[in-house]
Amino acid sequence: MKESTFVKLLEKKFISEGYLTQREVGVGYGVADLVLYKLNPKKCAIRRENGQYKRLQGEDFFKIFDYLPDYGSRKQVDLDYLVNNLNISKKTLKYHYLKKLEDDGFVKKISGKYYYKVNGWMPIAKEVIAIEAKINDWRRGALQANRYKTFAHKTYLALPSTKEHLVDKDFFKKHNIGLILFDTESFVKKTTRIKSEVPLNKYKFNFAAEFVIGKKSLKECFA
């Protein structure tokens, strides 16, 4: 069986359990084969009310939010202030990032020069779970899964259940990496319990959550 087929079947299993899913999510440090999402309905409602349906395609958008006051605040932030605090050129910041944020309803510009974020929805995801899938070479897969802690609350390695006897389970416990053993014939999945951790990079976490936007289930959340 190809790994791509294994991932598709595993995704089907998680969808049947009520998860939002997205394959091949890359926000740095590799591309996760499958990512599972639990969204916050209240945050979805706020984003819907603000008309913020577009996906933010990069973690720099979230870095910009850190320096913007909320809409309605008395604090004033202009372009020069943002340039001095962000590693982004003035031209790129103004005509790419800020323009897109304005066009998509995430930012408002007041008096032609002061920028404010229209927020209240961050973070939109309550939990992000990243999965690396392998047919063989569990050690390599476990190391890849460990890298996804930069953006996920939990990370797992998924293997065919027939490979269980090859795995050093103490390694997974030591590094708090979950193990999913999946039988594609019986559609039975066995998952180890692990602790939820705060993602190591909040920008990558927020960016990873954006990958699910555009899925039918998220549109229903926005409906």
Domain shared by 21 and 63, yes or no: no
Asked if residue 154 is part of any domain, the answer here is: yes
Considering the domain architecture, whether residues 194 and 208 belong to the same structural domain is answered as yes
Residues 95, 204 within the same domain: no
- Structural domain span for residue 70: 51-117
Residues 194 and 138 in one domain: yes
The pLDDT of residue 1: 84
Domain assignment present for 162: yes
For the chain, the domain total comes to 2
In this model, does residue 46 exceed pLDDT 90?
yes
Confidence class of residue 119 from pLDDT cuts 50, 70 and 90? very high
The answer on 97 and 12 residing in a single domain is no
Q: Are residues 154 and 196 in the same domain?
A: yes
CA 94 distance to own-chain centroid: 26
Residue 167 lies in a domain: yes
What average pLDDT does the segment 49-62 reach? 93
Q: Per-residue pLDDT for 130 more than 80?
A: yes
Q: Are residues 131 and 80 in the same domain?
A: no
Report pLDDT digits (tens) over 182-196. Answer: 999 999 999 999 999
Q: Say if residue 172 is in the same domain as residue 77.
A: no
Residue 46 belongs to a domain: no
Closest to 135 (Cα-Cα) out of 110, 106, 161, 99: 161
**Domain presence at residue 208:** yes
> In CATH, what number is assigned to the domain containing residue 165?
3.40.1350
- pLDDT value for 28: 87
Specify the pLDDT at position 174.
Answer: 95
In this predicted structure, the answer to whether residue 142 has a pLDDT above a threshold of 90 is yes
pLDDT higher than 90, residue 99: yes
pLDDT at 223 over 70: no
Q: What is the pLDDT of residues 58-85, one digit of tens each?
A: 999 999 999 999 999 999 999 999 999 9
DSSP calls for 26-81? ESSSSEEEEEEEEE-HHHHHHHHHTT--S---STHHHHHHTT-PBTT-S----HHH
Q: Same domain, yes or no, for 144 and 202?
A: yes
Whether 36 and 128 share a structural domain: yes
Query: Is the same domain home to 133 and 31?
Result: yes
